[in-house]
Structure 1
């Protein structure tokens, strides 16, 4: 692998991670599912939820409006370890969420990732969510309810 290829791979993986947060915030679960390999897994042990395959991710996405009013997730760059056509990495996450019962909380979390190079570019083969900090204090601000993903982004 050339140095240029390694740089290109890192940029593409970082874009993949940002796209995940955007798709989640915009409730665009079709797009979110497309970021995973066909048999990819999203594991969230603290919830507890384990979604394997794009179909389960889409089904979970249809439940989103019944669970929370708004969800804000910002991702921060973490490590990426390239291993040919696969890679591993971590993404650091800060979140605000308001549930439909008007309770809310903040999370600081880590995604432990596995990536695979596909014909369509880098995809998640596994993403495991680990909460490192949770604050259940009432959220004093107001969030907007997102019902339709923005177009033309």
Structure 2
């Protein structure tokens, strides 16, 4: 039978998963305020295989806008994360599949990878303090219809 600590750990894991899933559903909208609300003010977002590192909310906002600019739309699908909680800090790893269509072209792109995340508990709930996208592959292909 679960004890109070097990239930608290499960509640924290669920809250962390909710932040990860919220990021995936919000990023394709181009409205960056709700996405940035998922990060701490001093958060870092990295994409090492592209040599990219963005520190702070304004840098992350600029990166999100820049990376999504050539796309008409984008949608992320994240796998449930493997989450470890230690007090007020959590680490998580989750698979990601992100697809989008290029503006004005009958071409699409798909990114595959793993997010390695560090989150902290704040008065507003769990937030990313570090997100690292580990790219596995990129696929580009023509569309039958746009």
TM-score over 0.5 (shorter chain): yes
CA contact (8 A) 1:104 1:137 kept: yes
Structure 1: gaps spanning 5 or more residues: 143-153
- 2:73 aligns to what? 70
Residue 96 of structure 1 and its aligned partner are, at CA, apart by 1.0
TM-score by length of 2: 0.86
* Residue 136 of structure 1 pairs with residue 135 of structure 2: no
State whether residues 95 and 107 of structure 1, in contact with CA within 8 Å, keep that contact through their aligned partners in structure 2: yes
Once residues 65 and 96 of structure 1 are traced to their aligned partners in structure 2, the CA distance between those partners, rounded to angstroms, is 11
Aligned to 2:90: 87
Higher strand share: 2
The number of residue pairs the alignment matches comes to 142
- Alignment deviations for residues 21-58 of structure 1 (CA, whole Å, 9 cap, x no partner): 11101222111111011101111234443221111122
CA RMSD of aligned residues (A): 2.0
TM-score (normalised: structure 1): 0.82
Contact 2:45 2:55 in 1 (8 A): yes
Q: Say if 2:43 and 2:57, in contact at 8 Å, map to a contact too.
A: yes
List alignment gaps of at least 5 residues for structure 2. Answer: none
Distance in 1 (CA, whole Å) between partners of 2:36 and 2:88 is 20
Aligned 8 A contact 1:29 1:57 in 2: no
